[in-house]
Amino acid sequence: MDLVRFFAKRFLRLLLTVFIISTLIFFVIRIIPGDPALIIAGVDATAEDIQIIREKLGTDRSLPMQYLGWLYSILRFDFGNSMISGEPVTKLIFERFPLTLTLALMGIAIGILVAIPLGVMSAVKRWSLWDYFGLVFSQAGMAIPSFWLGMVLLLLFAVKIPIFPLFGSESFAHYILPALSLGFGRAAVILRLARASMVEELSKEYVITARAKGLTERMVKYKHALKNALLPVITITGIELGYMLGGAIIIEQVFSLPGLGRLFLFGIYQRDFTLIQGGVVFVAIVFSMINFLADILYSVVNPKIRVE
């Protein structure tokens, strides 16, 4: 029952978050820049052209009616039609989303596989060569922009030493360099948290008690301390995966990958109002869903959270 109640509360929080985000996006796009039709039409447009655009966007109606229509569209997961191609925005997004999701998952997988073992080793062997290497790695990962790393990797391993393909998305090899570019920075964040969390757990009383009972150091560190140290890592990993979906926009441009990033940039260049609006809401919903799943996973691993 605790798990069901916890799930229900988190799901309601998810719905509330999506509602607030959708509302903010609606009013920000319509109020802060002014009339979207004027921005889309340009300075040389006639009054008739502007009115046609308003009718297509639905901004010729009153603001409350627009808002109610917007909420109804969100419930049906209908973001309207692209002003450039005329195709449903939802269709365009789902055609590109698998590529972006694959890239983000590969990036976070690289980050986890590198960061957690190195972070744990840094904590277990503090101030050793392992620890100094981990600290240097985390500092470099935080400092180096992913797009710059992507260009360097392209130059080295696709141009100078042609191990990987230069551009495209036809094979698994096309995703390796972009995923490395994304995963390097995320690995730095996860590593720092894994190290700090492990150091904290190793200083707690239950670790001292376990040692006093005669348990081996391996069992104390890797069975008891590590299990608790990984709990905050679950949360930060979900957040980092969400950020990767946004960060993939730049990486997709660097590697010419036809994902969501290039789709949204096209929408910005072409002033495709409905595509931009739908894209922002979609990314926000996915980000909220990832955090929701991270909360559920956290509660499964640590049942105390459900009680609290």
Provide the greatest CA pair distance for the chain. Answer: 84
Q: What's the first-to-final CA gap in the chain, in angstroms?
A: 14
Half-sphere exposure of 9 (CA within 13 A, CB side): 13
Would you state the pLDDT for residue 277?
A: 83
Would you state the pLDDT for residue 305?
A: 56
Would you state the pLDDT for residue 116?
A: 87
Going through 100-162 in order, the beta strands assigned E by DSSP cover none
Would you state the pLDDT for residue 2?
A: 65
pTM summary value? 0.79
Enumerate residues 6+ apart whose C-beta is below 8 A from 217. Answer: 211
Distance CA(92)–CA(278), nearest Å, equals 10
Written as one string, the DSSP assignment of 152-206 is: HHHIIIIIIS-SS-SS--SSTHHHHHHHHHHHHHHHHHHHHHHHHHHHHHHTSHH
**Kindly report the CA angle at 85 between 287 and 55, in degrees rounded to 5?**
90
Nearest C-alpha neighbor of 249 from the set 100, 149, 111, 142:
100
307 near 2, Cβ under 8 Å? Answer: yes
Low pLDDT (below 50) residues in the chain = 307
Would you state the pLDDT for residue 33?
A: 56
Structure tokens at 237: 């990993």
Nearest C-alpha neighbor of 231 from the set 142, 299, 143, 134:
299
Structure tokens at 31: 């109020």
State the DSSP H helix or E strand holding residue 236, giving kind and residue range, or none if neither.
helix 231-255
Q: Three-state DSSP class for 11?
A: helix
Query: Could you give all domains of the chain from N- to C-terminal order, each with its CATH number?
Result: 91-291 (1.10.3720.10)
Write down the residue that tokens 């692209």 correspond to. 82
Would you state the pLDDT for residue 40?
A: 67
Would you state the pLDDT for residue 175?
A: 87
